[in-house]
Structure 1
Amino acid sequence: MQYIRITDIHDPLFTKMHQLMQTVFPPEEVLEFSLWEEPLADDGIRVCVAVHQGEVVGATEYRYYEDVNVAMTDFTIIGREGLGVGRFLAERRKADLNAWAESCGKKLYGMFAEIYDPYRVEQLAFGGVKPMDPFVRREVLSHLGYKRLDFPYVHPSWNNDGEAVSGLDLCFLPIANDLTELNADLVASFVKRYYTVLPNKPQAWHDMVKQLEEMETIPLLPI
């Protein structure tokens, strides 16, 4: 299996990855094809695929913010069972992020990720791919060490239609295992920065940010 970074919207591997995304994610979670051109060319973002026998069997997108020393896993897709795709992607991503932070003279503080709460989104089948089932994905993140940030989370729809997407938790993987809370300013600045790309934000999202800005710390709880 190969781990390949995609930097060009015209790369045939990107077409296969985007088709895979449309198979496993709900429409509001998938950025329209042409809008990927800038993210793919951005040095601060990695879009990588797992390729097996010429086919894209998995993918992950992530980014690193040097100034605050945190990363974000935008998504992880396991497109085929029985190949160890999830472990392969997680290990390659971790190694790349650690090297990325070290090149900036830092040791990675931690990594954010959004995860569906399966008790609120049982209707999402994720293309019938069992490893993408919300119950499975949630347990995998728990095993990796992610913790849930204890506040009501919503995010703007990637359709950029001003709709709020709920049913998710914002989670954080602390590199220091004894970390029990995050500075609320870090979380607020992160979500504002992360969703800058979407100009049409729902009022529920603005209300959430305001709530974060009024808090001092946010507990990290088990998933």
Structure 2
Amino acid sequence: MEYRRITSIEDPLFKKMHQLMQDVFPPEEVLEFDLWKEPLEDPGIRVFVAVHEGNVVGATEYRYYEDFNVAMTDFTIIGQAGLGIGRFLAQKRLKDLNSLAEANEKRLFGMFAEIYDPYRVEHYEFGGVKPMDPYVRREVLSHLGYKRLDFPYVHPSWNNDGEAVTGLDLCFLPMDDSLDELKTDLIVKFLRRYYSVLSNKPKSWYEMVENLEAKDSVALLPI
């Protein structure tokens, strides 16, 4: 299996990746094909695919923030069972992020991720791909060391229509497993940076940020 970076919508592998995204994710979570042009060309956004026998069988998008010394996993897609795609992507991603942190003369502090909570939202089928089942993914991410940030999370729709997407948790993977809380200053700065690309965010998102700013820290809880 190959770990290949995509930096252009003209890359034939991107068409395969975008189709895989449409097969797996809910429509409001998939950016239109043409709107990927700028993100793919952004050196700070890292999009990689797992290629097996010429086919895109998995993908992951993530980014590293040098000033925060944290990463964000935008998504991970496992397109087939029985190929070890999840472990392959997780290991390659972490190796890449550790290299970026080392070049920044730091040790990676941790990584954010949004995780569906199937105990609240049960209708996501994720294309019928069993490794992408929300219950399975949640347990896998728990095994990887992710912890849930203890506050009600609101996710702005990537359709940029001002709609709020609920049923997710914002989670964090600390490189120091003994860490049991996260400073809200980091969380707020990260959220503002991450969603700066969306001009039309829901009112509930701004209220969430205001509530976070009123606290010093947020607990990291088991998933």
Q: In the alignment, which residue of structure 1 is the partner of 2:188?
A: 188
Q: Distance in 2 between matches of 1:120 and 1:159?
A: 22
Q: In the alignment, which residue of structure 2 is the partner of 1:115?
A: 115
3-state DSSP class of the match of 2:158? coil
Q: In the alignment, which residue of structure 2 is the partner of 1:56?
A: 56
Residues 124-143 of structure 1 mapped to structure 2, 5 A cutoff? 124-143=124-143
Q: In the alignment, which residue of structure 2 is the partner of 1:219?
A: 219
Q: CA RMSD in A?
A: 0.5
Q: In the alignment, which residue of structure 1 is the partner of 2:155?
A: 155
Quick check: 38-47 or 70-79, which moved more?
38-47
3-state DSSP class of the match of 1:48? strand
Residues 1-223 of structure 1 mapped to structure 2, 5 A cutoff? 1-223=1-223
Q: Distance in 2 between matches of 1:67 and 1:88?
A: 28
Q: Structure 1 segments of 4 or more deviating over 2 A? A: none
Q: Distance in 1 between matches of 2:16 and 2:161?
A: 26
Structure 2: runs of 5+ lacking an equivalent: none
> Letter of the aligned partner of 2:140 in structure 1?
V
3-state DSSP class of the match of 1:19? helix
Percentage of identical aligned residues: 74
Alpha-carbon displacement from aligned partner over 1:45-100 (angstroms, at most 9, x marks no partner)? 10000000000000000000000100000000000111000000000000000001
C-alpha deviation, 1:43, in angstroms: 1.0
Q: Distance in 2 between matches of 1:58 and 1:24?
A: 11
Alpha-carbon displacement from aligned partner over 1:1-43 (angstroms, at most 9, x marks no partner)? 0000000111110010000001100011111111111111111
TM-score (norm 2): 0.99
Alpha-carbon displacement from aligned partner over 1:194-221 (angstroms, at most 9, x marks no partner)? 0011111000101101111111100000
> Letter of the aligned partner of 1:113 in structure 2?
A
3-state DSSP class of the match of 1:8? coil
Alpha-carbon displacement from aligned partner over 1:91-136 (angstroms, at most 9, x marks no partner)? 0000000001101111000000000001112111000000000000
Structure 1: runs of 5+ lacking an equivalent: none
Q: Distance in 1 between matches of 2:43 and 2:103?
A: 14
3-state DSSP class of the match of 1:151? coil
